[in-house]
Structure 1
Amino acid sequence: MSIRLPSADGTYRMHRPNTDPLTPLACGPARSRAFYSAAHVVADPLAASAEAGPVVDWEATLAFRRRLWAQGLGVAEAMDTAQRGMGLDWPTAAELIRRSAAEAREAGGRIVCGAGTDQLPADGAHSLAAITAAYEEQLAHTEACGAGAVLMASRALAAAARGPEDYLEVYGGLLRQSARPVVLHWLGPMFDPALAGYWGHEDLDEATDVFLKVIAECPQKVDGIKVSLLDADREVGIRRRLPAGVRCYTGDDYHYPELIAGDGELACDALLGIFDPIAPIAARAAIALDRDDVTGFRELLDPTVPLSRHLFAPPTRFYKTGVVLLAWLAGYQEHFTMVGGLQSARSLPHLATAYELADGLGLFPDPELAEDRMRRLLSVHGVES
């Protein structure tokens, strides 16, 4: 059997579904690197548009996290992959952190959670004191739940900061009071246009200097950094300038295989949105690195890059749509509905290519189910497959 898929140029192509999917894998956490998957949330399709706010299907959402832990991956919770700032509000994120942290303890899994300022009204101007207080609230909640914190980039701070000194003041105060070392997240404007000019500079060299100064002033409180700029050379340059003991968690969904593999002297750990859909392959690649088999690691992970680059293609912030599509096609959830209706953010040809690339990698445990669901999606859009 073949399935007819639409292309962006208006033509169609035939795809023969994979008949040799990856077998299930269960393993412990990687030893050579820290591998975190930023995980998506599963909406409740019967209430996803409720005026009261986002409604999460908690069992399906937590079941997906249990699947990640079973494969030896850590979970990066309540990050942008979980639609923070794009449908998931702070009260729901706070509950997500509480539930996931409890599940992590039960499973013995690694977890870090995003702490930001998104409880502040998006349409208002906020003082540095108010921004700091918002960060403090979320940091305290995350730590009280027993999870490590990722200090996420703040739209409110990007709008309010008069220059680099304001970033140094806010982040310095947070680091001094954190109960445990945190991860600092530099999210580029390709993921969120509101974060342009972060660290007080449009020029990335100058912004990098400020970012590194924040770390240098309190390195013992920084577990690591997550750099999401899709710029491998810059990430390598930052990695070389980090104080001893501070990790670099790559957030580069375009160049992650070479950044994780390293250059023989320094290597990156990983905190990636692409690890959500490619978890079975990422887990196998981690095992290869634990055996010091860099060649095997690259042979596993390099073929996933075309899928990742497709999912994270501009406008990059809509990559979550492809991630959730693949979770539905794989049978990890029963619908293709997202918080805030974000399932409509990508075109049908884009989704068809995501299916084709993921199927080629063997990522669907039941290829017949994936094919049937893709056919139904095409049919809803008026395409006879």
Structure 2
Amino acid sequence: MADKQWPSDLGPVACIVGARPNFMKMAPILRAFSAHCPAVPTLLVHTGQHYDKDMNDRLFVDLRLPHPDINLEVGSGTHAVQTAEVMRRFEPLLDAQRPSCVLVVGDVNSTLACALVCAKKQVPVVHVEAGLRSHDRAMPEEINRVLTDQLADRLYTTERSAHDNLAREGIAAERVSFVGNVMIDSLLANRQFAHPPTQTLQQAGFDPALVSDPQGYGVVTLHRPSNVDQVETLAPLLAVLSETAQRIPLVLALHPRTRGNIERFGLAHLLCSPRVVLLPPQGYLEMLGLLAGARLVLSDSGGLQEETTALGVPCLTLRANTERPITVDQGTNTLVGSDPLAIRQGVDQILRGAGKSGRVPELWDGRAAERIAADLAPWLLARHSASRH
């Protein structure tokens, strides 16, 4: 555009965050929109799907993320209740703000809920991190991913395999663009600010020497219902973690759901070891420092599969499948499920120096958000121009 100004009659891009991983993905996108010429106006909407005031405040600071323009304050609930409540509160906002499009990231309930409202109101939907598939319909996130992609007008992918998934589901190739991974944009932008692991332990009241062990240390996160909601699954997992801690100290960042179930099932004794550090959920910079310094990671998190691949840290994923196959095919990730024998073998392989070294996948270079801005801005301007003629 000659005057390098966003048209005054073209609304902002409404950017939706609902849960912790969304913040890491949205921060670089907002910066890229601001830096684009012309600058793309944005409206940051927090649905409040997951809300912990202290943790949210820390994330805003850590990621240099502006505070939301609007918070829907939905809160927790069943999947149906939460999805419905986001829809109910988001619809009047959409009517009032008249955004040029709504941009959603990832696969949480807020992602699908806002996309559904947009589809009914004929507002364009943009999905960042499209096309990822675990092919496990028992995962609520898989349903959210599949349906959001069907509703989206513009889809941005993190890996090329996602394009095959979308093509199989009948989504036209011209709606899809391979841009790379915005989660890695955040990681690379913030690695220099990561907190040293010794500092994180010391501030939590633990001996910082634990993360200076000659063997190194491991990081563990567990939160998926399939791993933590049944004692028959959780107890063997904690037992093998306790066993692993005899070989290498472990730092567990415990999700509230997991901590609650450990207490409810009477399993706390399994983690009573001076070589096991139990931390509450950590801030982004604390967690980044812990991951970057780790010898190995055991987790059922989707995001950690990507972050460990980018950091070159071997990861054992405590799931039978993954929607991020590139982390297995090219990265440092190995699927071990919840089987104690497979976990033992995976740990043994890493400690013998035979863990995956992997490589950083294509376009995981810290510039994914720039590519999104470079594609989305002219797309919106072209739609706007066409609508006026």
TM-score, normalised via structure 2 length: 0.29
- Which structure has the greater CA radius of gyration? 2
Higher relative contact order (CA 8 A, sep 6+): 1
Q: With the length of structure 1 as denominator, give the TM-score of the two structures.
A: 0.29
